[in-house]
Structure 1
Amino acid sequence: MDATQQPRAEAGPECRRAALAALGEEVGRALPLPDEGLGETLLRRAQAQPAAETEEDRLIVRFGTEWRSFIRRQNPDRLTALDELIDARIERRALARFYRRMKHAAVAVTVTAFALAQFGIDRLPLVRQLWRLLRGDLR
């Protein structure tokens, strides 16, 4: 077999982990962490720990600059307002689903009523009995 016909070896977990570690180091060099921010003290503490914890796989996610600045701008008042907006949107969507179902039911009832009127209400015994029940004529 020459070099073009040799089977490729599958990349194992070690290769992926090494690639992710190298990528993380390069991103860390290119984008240094800011002074302080939400959760960045925990990141520094996790990075300062020795690499003796090999039995537990841990991934650290670093946010981009835009997300870090967005997280820093948040305060309790803004978070409360954001929670209220999310709750209002959930409520509006639930009401919209309810009204959509009601509209579909009203259309189905109207179409059925017109079809029964066109077909003739006295021709179906079940419909005749229901009509008598609705009128209050229980003979």
Structure 2
Amino acid sequence: MDATSQSPEARDPACRRAALDAIGEGVGRVLPPPDDGLGESLIRRAYSGRAAAEAEEDRLVVRFGTEWRTFIRRQTPDRLTALDELIDERIERRALARFYRRMKPAAVVVVVTAFALAQFGVDRLPLVRQLWRLVRGDLR
């Protein structure tokens, strides 16, 4: 049976959701919950019927491998603080890079205009002369 001959109800996202729920229940019966670790109590709760009341709510269950579990258990408050500082520094660096990327065209225009005015002379252009008087505060 191809996708075009299926009824509209069979292609409905609710049917796909029900199929995914059934697959998840089957996987939950086959795979036992892992040992206690980060987030694994949430997996046990999701596998058991206690989370059935939240069936309509979307939830994401992540099962960590043994390498990740050992890595997470190895973390100390000092290492996590250093990691937070590195992440904050990286975020600040990206923000400054974005700022400089936005300011670069404006700086080029200002420098080129300044050099053109210096080459031409301020007194030769009446508009520039008036702007210069405005900047100096000499309104005559």
The answer to whether the superposition gives a TM-score over 0.5 is: yes
> Of the two structures, which has the highest relative contact order with CA contacts closer than 8 Å and spacing of 6 or more?
1
Q: Which of these residues, 4, 7, 12, is aligned with residue 5 of structure 2?
A: 7
- Please name the residue that 1:110 is paired with: 111
Q: Which moved more, 1:32-41 or 1:7-16?
A: 7-16
- Superposition deviation, residue 43 in structure 1: 2.5
Unmatched runs of 5 consecutive residues or more in structure 1: none
- Please name the residue that 2:61 is paired with: 61
1:92-107 to structure 2, matched below 5 A, reads 92-107=93-108
- Superposition deviation, residue 16 in structure 1: 1.6
Query: Given that residues 122 and 129 in structure 2 are in contact (C-alpha distance below 8 angstroms), is that contact kept between their aligned partners in structure 1?
Result: yes
Provide the TM-score with structure 2 as the length reference. 0.65
Query: Given that residues 43 and 60 in structure 1 are in contact (C-alpha distance below 8 angstroms), is that contact kept between their aligned partners in structure 2?
Result: no
Unmatched runs of 5 consecutive residues or more in structure 2: none
- Superposition deviation, residue 23 in structure 1: 2.8
* CA distance 1:23–1:78, change in 2 (3 Å): farther
Q: CA RMSD in A?
A: 3.7
- Superposition deviation, residue 130 in structure 1: 4.0
Provide the TM-score with structure 1 as the length reference. 0.65
Answering whether residue 43 of structure 2 is matched by residue 48 of structure 1, we say: no
* CA distance 1:118–1:49, change in 2 (3 Å): same
- Superposition deviation, residue 9 in structure 1: 1.6
How many residues align? The count is 136
